[in-house]
Structure 1
Amino acid sequence: MKKYEGYFSFYYDEKSDKIFLEIDKLDEEFLYVNSLAAGVGSNDIGLDRNQLGNDRVVKFERKGPKILLVQPNYKYRAISESEDEKNAVRDAFAQSVLYGFKLVAEEEGKVLVDATDFFISDSHHVISTLKRSKQGSYSLDKSRSALYLPQTKAFPKNSEFEATLTFSGEAQGGYIRSVTPTSSAITVRVHHSFVELPDGDYEPRIFDPRAGYFSTSYYDYATPIGEPLEKRFITRHRLKKKDSNAAVSEPIEPIIYYMDRGTPEPIRSALMEGASWWNQAFEAAGYKNAFQVKLLPADADPLDVRYNVINWVHRSTRGWSYGSSVVDPRTGEIIKGHVLLGSLRVRQDYLIAEGLLAPYKNSTSVPKEMEEMALARLRQLAAHEVGHTLGLAHSYTSSSENRASVMDYPHPLIKITNGEIDLSDAYDDKIGAWDKVAINYGYRDFPSNENEKTELNKIIQESLKNGLTFLSDQDARPKGGAHPYAHLWDNGKSPVTELNHILEVRRIALNNFGENNIQTGTPYAELEEVLAPVYFLHRYQTEAVSKIIGGINYRYALRGDGQPVTELIDANEQKLALGALLSTITPERLMLTEDLLKIIPPRPLGYRRSRELTEIRTSLTFDPLTAAESAAQMTFGLLFNHSRAQRLIEHHARNSEQPGLEYVIDQVIAATWEQKPSNNTYKAEIQRTVNDALLTQLMGLAANEESSEQAKAIVYYKLDELKTWLNSIMKKSDELQKAHFAYAVHKIEAFQNEPEKYKLPVVVDTPDGSPIGSY
């Protein structure tokens, strides 16, 4: 057999395609990481090339003829000198035996096991992922699986194993059919890494919720009464100065990230440049050349745990990029940073630019400013995802603080210059002020004469004085979110001001929209692809404004740090926000010009409709009324979220000047149902479409099991008021308006009579925004 000598030496038997693992470190802990080397290629399924799986501390234990791979439970510990205390905690909580190997041979303290079945196994949970995504029922077919020797290697501190796995079954979903040559046989590659654990010289750093880091934690049952049982630390790379007393020093070992060699130019250079921005933050923290970005060596494996890697990943559909890490769960030390960047994202930025600029009047080539915008976004994206692998969480207040962090989700900053759309400053070109604060907190190497805890608190307090704040994911989500300044894909200090601005940008773009938005030789039907992101350009700023209503301003405040804890938002600011939201659903805002509608034909042969387009109820033809309905449902769905409704009730009860749910409903009904229909029949029909969308959302709020009884009561009462008004005005209306009013009365009565049995109308969704803002 061929021997591979390394951290765990092993032998390969070519005749039987087996790996025999030599175990010379019984009862010695090491890190086991499993990954997906070759994926499926569908964002929706979620099995990407070079996707990290689980990382676990494990050890081999011998039990007679069996060799067990055991995962200790590091979530519960006793940090104590007493072995009895440690054993009491160890035995109180379950461990996990991940696999049992049969001993083949032994000599001089070493044992040999047949590890083939362990490596040829569904360690990455491909079967359950396919089932969960409703793509079919599959099983591992070992007759069509084998070890993959090109990426099976041994090194002094890590041993790497890879296998080709084939899963057979019957496809049930369209996603898997679209990305496999034969959907009954899905072949991928899984990777396994056995890695030596880091030495004990790493110094964990205390977690502070204000500092912007992910945390790792465990429960220490040896903790004295009166101290917190749960111990929290930040996740970060190991980094130390050569001279900790020097204001600026080179590191003992720099943090180096490597770029996927499969990335084409000019994308490769843009990604490497954006990732290298982090060196600006490390310089501010007192390091010289501490963070570096290089091209991955030609003979290196991206899944080798020794390399921090930025991967360029192809999928059949657009999707998120990810920054993940291999972390030592004992300490929070990041051992490997691993970024997956979706390659289709850059094409979405091109599409947005095409929609905004209508650039093909005199040329079929892509204008330089479009490429510059797309590459600027890639720089920011690389910096963002690398930031996660440095330990940093999303920072969603930063867009309201002058682009203070690349860890925010940036919507392109679109300016209007001399009445024309200007993308020259769409994305930032550097690291942000908050990013420097965060890296300073996480990575500064303090001289021995300084108290680390005191100095870390000074870093945070100084950032607060400078007006920098940190709020993360749970605070930024639009549906149910309450914070007025923490948002995804927004810009500016004032959400309302920016919504008004983006609506003006949208107006200019739609007024200019036509055949110049597509290249010569492109089917006119593809105007729909370009139109969708422009028509819904305001979606994320609408989300931001909706959170002002029934919102609350707060911080991750600690006692004594001087931050505001919670404060209700001024009533006038909420009313201004409501007015801005209502401006998004006027017929004038939602209608498209006749000239544009005339040049959007049905799809030609070979060009299918996709989820990137607006929904239609017209079978083949573009449907401007349903597009308007979708936009209206978006605004009303945000406004009448059950959590927001409950906060409106609560805040009004606490302070009568705060707008209540009944006030908001009255204002919205006055701006929709009670508006006099336009003499323009197209506008009038859009108004009826908007009215129906509102009715659907109100009834949905009342029917929602999570809505409070008072929220339901208020909606029921307001619907009854609306019904009475409709009956009173119906006779004065024309035939179309009578039909509209009469059917609304019928729906309200049916809902009132049997709310449990009433079937709500189907809500028309907006086209996919992912990865610019799906949630």
Structure 2
Amino acid sequence: MRNTLRKLRLLLLLLPFMVNMALAQKLPSIVSKTEGMKRYPGYFTFYWDEAGGKVWLEINRFDTDFLYVNSLAAGLGSNDIGLDRGQLGGERVVSFRKIGPKVMLVQPNLSYRANTTNRNEARAVEESFAQSILWGFKAEAEEGGRVLVDATDFLLRDAHDVIGSLKGSRQGSYRLDASRSALYLPRTMNFPKNTEFEAMLTFTGGDDAGRYVREVAPDVQALTMRQHHSFIQLPDGNYEPRKMDPRAGYFGITYYDYATPVGEDIEKRFIARHRLQKKNPGAARSEAVEPIVYYVDNGAPEPIRTALLEGARWWNQAFEAAGYQNAFKVEVLPDSADPMDVRYNVIQWVHRSTRGWSYGATVTDPRTGEIIKGHVSLGSLRVRQDYLIAEGLLAPYQEGKPESEEMMQMSLARIRQLSAHELGHTLGIMHNYAASVSDRASVMDYPHPLVQLDKGGNLNLSNAYAAGIGEWDKVAVTYGYEDFPEGVNEEQALNKLLLSGIDRGLQFISDRDARATGGAHPQAHLWDNGPDAAEELRNVLAVRQKALQNFSPNNIKPGMPYALLEDVLVPVYNYHRYQTEATAKLVGGVNYTYAVRGDKQTVTAPLDKKTQQQALDALLATLQPDVLTVPEHIIKLIPPRPPGYQASRELFDKRTGLTFDPMAAAEASADFTMSMLLHPERAARLVELQARHNSLGLSDVTDQLVKSTFKATRKKGLEEQVQQQTEQVVLTHLLALANNESTSYQARAVASLTLNNLKDYLQRQTRRMGDSPYKAHLTYAIERIENPGMVTVKLPQHKDLPPGAPIGSGVMGCE
């Protein structure tokens, strides 16, 4: 009895606390919590609290996957930093999980899976690899199984990592200023299958702001941009993933499936593609159940907008080849549409402070590879670069003659190709840099203007860029999008398709294999033309020579400062740069394919000695004084820039202060050739291939290099100075190779022997002459060989070429 009384007293004492706790735990209803707020019904219903400046998110589904995508709606405008308008961030499969008063936004680890009906086997994989909780919310109201959370802080965070991008590019230490950040309501919307939020964020600091920020920001201490957040319903389960084949040229998804039987490949690979199905799969040609539709930015001006439409529509040719009718369409984006809305595949026209890369990105279902949204960003200054190239080639502004239409025609032809190229990436298709050897068989190559000399010796730009889709593109689209009727073995049919393309001479070689510095593939190059790289280099040099001969005040419009002739001269003088890259890859070249067992393609085959020698001859021609020396009639035309016309990195680097420096231009060009010809990887490969096949060896290259420079007939005047400078550039690269620990011992040994033999030759030459500028040059070269520590042999140390490719960081999927 006494114990019962004690318990009763204790209960009476605790009762008020228990009542208070119960009252504290009971959440208000969503209706009462959101009274007076604007309701946005849709995929995830949300509310706008005008008074508090908050967004309240109503969560009505838990433990249900959806797609979360963040992006940059309004950018910084500097392609060097890369924070562009319309830039997509990562896509993540996520779900909401409620644990007591907390609501977690959880991202599962889809890189490691178990595709099995055995739940215990799947759980073992899930528990072996970490998941990620992206955000934690607090439940503030509850009603009928629905929970209300304050999503404001989630939406006003730096989801796109602008701060990290600025810091990583050494452009300043910034922080997010909450007092100057808010939801951006014009782009905050809701739809049945997607919920869209946008936030205006201001980043402050900037005391250490870098040059690129200072070029574009009105106030470096306050950078305001907009970030977008999308919650997207995942597609249904009716999409059929298509296996990746290395010969097909597709991006895609990969993951590890631990339910795979032992003896089979645990890594699964599927291509990325839009969902496209025929209304009648059994018909050879059929309309699509739902066509793929792209929208061109209505902010693009004419005639560019029309060119973008025309180029993008080329892809319908490929879909027709794959058996579709009217399955691919391109229209102008309606004024009412938001380009960040996941329902729209878009081609955006992006402005930056300097010309930069364009790129094609996608929102892709990480589970299957299905492309949900294609998103192209095209840099607006690229068209002006092509126009500048045409001005340099044509010298079109002659008094008394109308302005030529050829410049605009060539520029628009390039924009059509660029529109098609970047859209191709958003269809899932990779670069194909071997297309130029097969009569420009793909828009997924990087095209250089194909300019030719006619019978009268005049420059002809009429065929500068190809028009229409290429034969490889038709093969690629058919591989990715053909809808096979019931009963057809898909794997066998796709293999037959690829073999048919191979039999027709269509090749696919992509990014890594096409790079010039240490690259080995003889047919995969960026911005080249023709099946024979060395022969085309000779053609390009002839076009360049003709353009330099014609160079005059007629290369700029009347009334423009003469100093602007340098802007036009740069792309003309460096016109051969990319064909030089292509030709360099033939030296020490190895042909190969992405062969699979049984397809009878060439696996690997070293390039024959004759072809390599022809390439070396063409490369040595680019080092000759008559090629490198800027003609006197041009030098006299280019004064220092007047006030209001600032110099930029698009011009030649100089050692002469404000005046034009023809020597620096020649130095940069010679260094460009040498950086590829004596690249450490190429040097090691030349040694190895000569030992295996008695092909062109490194000693052959260095001996001929010395013969064509140091031992060549002496020139006079400015050509003499260019010749001697080129010899010092050659010497720098020989010294660098001899002292480069990343290359093979034998390559270093060959370079060292070449240097010793060269020193003996130079010493004999100096004993035959008295004091002279030439003797000074020889003596300095000897000193550099004997004391390599007197100069830094780490490259680069010479003047660099002005940028030819778009400025900024190029990545796969970009041009």
**TM-score calculated relative to the size of structure 2:** 0.93
Q: How far apart, in 1, do the equivalents of 2:708 and 2:402 lie?
A: 45
What SS class does the counterpart of residue 787 from structure 2 fall into? helix
Alpha-carbon distance, 1:764 to partner: 1.3
1:124 is matched with 160
Q: Report whether the alignment pairs 1:703 with 2:722.
A: no
Q: Report whether the alignment pairs 1:568 with 2:588.
A: no
Q: Report whether the alignment pairs 1:114 with 2:146.
A: no
CA contact (8 A) 2:304 2:415 kept: yes
Alpha-carbon distance, 1:362 to partner: 2.6
Give the AA of the match of 1:478: A
1:650 is matched with 688
Alpha-carbon distance, 1:771 to partner: 2.3
Give the AA of the match of 2:801: T
What SS class does the counterpart of residue 349 from structure 2 fall into? strand
CA contact (8 A) 1:499 1:541 kept: yes
How large is the RMSD of aligned CA atoms in angstroms? 1.4
Q: How far apart, in 2, do the equivalents of 1:525 and 1:598 lie?
A: 11
CA contact (8 A) 2:736 2:794 kept: no
CA contact (8 A) 1:34 1:193 kept: yes
Alpha-carbon distance, 1:705 to partner: 3.2
**Selected match of 1:732 from 768, 775, 798:** 768
Give the AA of the match of 1:405: S
What SS class does the counterpart of residue 499 from structure 2 fall into? helix
Q: Report whether the alignment pairs 1:689 with 2:725.
A: yes
Matches within 5 A, 1:264-279: 264-279=301-316
Q: How far apart, in 2, do the equivalents of 1:595 and 1:203 lie?
A: 65
Alpha-carbon distance, 1:630 to partner: 0.6
Q: How far apart, in 1, do the equivalents of 2:170 and 2:768 lie?
A: 52
What SS class does the counterpart of residue 416 from structure 2 fall into? helix
Q: Aligned pair in 2 of structure 1 residues 109, 772: CA closer, same or farther (>3 Å)?
A: closer
Paired positions, count: 771
**Selected match of 2:519 from 481, 490, 499:** 481
**Selected match of 1:31 from 30, 48, 67:** 67
Q: How far apart, in 1, do the equivalents of 2:169 and 2:658 lie?
A: 29
1:467 is matched with 505
**Selected match of 2:798 from 752, 763, 772:** 763
Give the AA of the match of 1:398: A
Q: Aligned pair in 2 of structure 1 residues 692, 259: CA closer, same or farther (>3 Å)?
A: same
Q: Report whether the alignment pairs 1:243 with 2:280.
A: yes
Give the AA of the match of 2:93: V
Q: Could you tell which deviates more after superposition, 635-644 or 592-601?
A: 592-601
Q: How far apart, in 1, do the equivalents of 2:679 and 2:39 lie?
A: 63
Q: Report whether the alignment pairs 1:153 with 2:153.
A: no
CA contact (8 A) 2:293 2:328 kept: yes
Matches within 5 A, 1:273-672: 273-362=310-399, 366-417=403-454, 418-656=456-694, 658-672=695-709
Give the AA of the match of 1:409: Y
Give the AA of the match of 2:94: V
What SS class does the counterpart of residue 42 from structure 1 fall into? coil
Q: 1:179-207 CA deviation, whole Å, 9 max, x = no partner?
A: 01001100000000000000000000010
Q: 1:332-355 CA deviation, whole Å, 9 max, x = no partner?
A: 000000000000000000000000
**Selected match of 1:714 from 734, 747, 750:** 750
Q: Aligned pair in 2 of structure 1 residues 54, 772: CA closer, same or farther (>3 Å)?
A: closer
Tell me the percent identity.
Answer: 58
Unpaired stretches in structure 1, ≥5 consecutive residues: none
Q: Aligned pair in 2 of structure 1 residues 590, 635: CA closer, same or farther (>3 Å)?
A: same
Q: Aligned pair in 2 of structure 1 residues 697, 354: CA closer, same or farther (>3 Å)?
A: same
Q: Aligned pair in 2 of structure 1 residues 704, 608: CA closer, same or farther (>3 Å)?
A: farther
CA contact (8 A) 1:699 1:760 kept: no
Q: 1:17-69 CA deviation, whole Å, 9 max, x = no partner?
A: 10000000111100000010110001101000111111110001112111111
**Selected match of 2:296 from 254, 259, 281:** 259
Q: How far apart, in 2, do the equivalents of 1:326 and 1:560 lie?
A: 35
Q: Aligned pair in 2 of structure 1 residues 413, 758: CA closer, same or farther (>3 Å)?
A: closer
Q: How far apart, in 1, do the equivalents of 2:563 and 2:618 lie?
A: 33
Q: Report whether the alignment pairs 1:206 with 2:225.
A: no
Q: 1:372-428 CA deviation, whole Å, 9 max, x = no partner?
A: 100000000000000000000000100000010000000011011120001011111
Alpha-carbon distance, 1:731 to partner: 2.6
What SS class does the counterpart of residue 68 from structure 1 fall into? strand
CA contact (8 A) 1:384 1:406 kept: yes
2:17 is matched with none
CA contact (8 A) 1:30 1:197 kept: yes
Unpaired stretches in structure 2, ≥5 consecutive residues: 1-36, 811-815
Alpha-carbon distance, 1:732 to partner: 2.3
CA contact (8 A) 1:489 1:772 kept: no
What SS class does the counterpart of residue 659 from structure 2 fall into? coil
Alpha-carbon distance, 1:363 to partner: 5.7
Alpha-carbon distance, 1:662 to partner: 1.3
CA contact (8 A) 1:364 1:520 kept: no
What SS class does the counterpart of residue 194 from structure 1 fall into? strand
Q: Aligned pair in 2 of structure 1 residues 759, 768: CA closer, same or farther (>3 Å)?
A: closer
Give the AA of the match of 1:622: F
1:8 is matched with 44
Runs of 4+ in 1 over 4 A off after TM superposition: 363-366, 754-761, 772-775
Alpha-carbon distance, 1:715 to partner: 1.2
CA contact (8 A) 2:522 2:589 kept: yes
CA contact (8 A) 2:80 2:809 kept: no
1:17 is matched with 53
Alpha-carbon distance, 1:172 to partner: 2.7
CA contact (8 A) 2:667 2:729 kept: yes
Q: Aligned pair in 2 of structure 1 residues 258, 408: CA closer, same or farther (>3 Å)?
A: same
Q: 1:235-277 CA deviation, whole Å, 9 max, x = no partner?
A: 0000000000011000000000001110100000000000000
Q: How far apart, in 1, do the equivalents of 2:96 and 2:401 lie?
A: 63
Q: Report whether the alignment pairs 1:91 with 2:127.
A: yes
Give the AA of the match of 2:76: V
Q: How far apart, in 1, do the equivalents of 2:779 and 2:248 lie?
A: 57
Q: How far apart, in 2, do the equivalents of 1:346 and 1:705 lie?
A: 43
Alpha-carbon distance, 1:702 to partner: 2.4
Alpha-carbon distance, 1:369 to partner: 1.1
Give the AA of the match of 1:332: G
**TM-score calculated relative to the size of structure 1:** 0.98
Please say which structure displays the higher CA radius of gyration: 2
CA contact (8 A) 1:499 1:538 kept: yes
What SS class does the counterpart of residue 405 from structure 1 fall into? coil
Q: Report whether the alignment pairs 1:137 with 2:185.
A: no
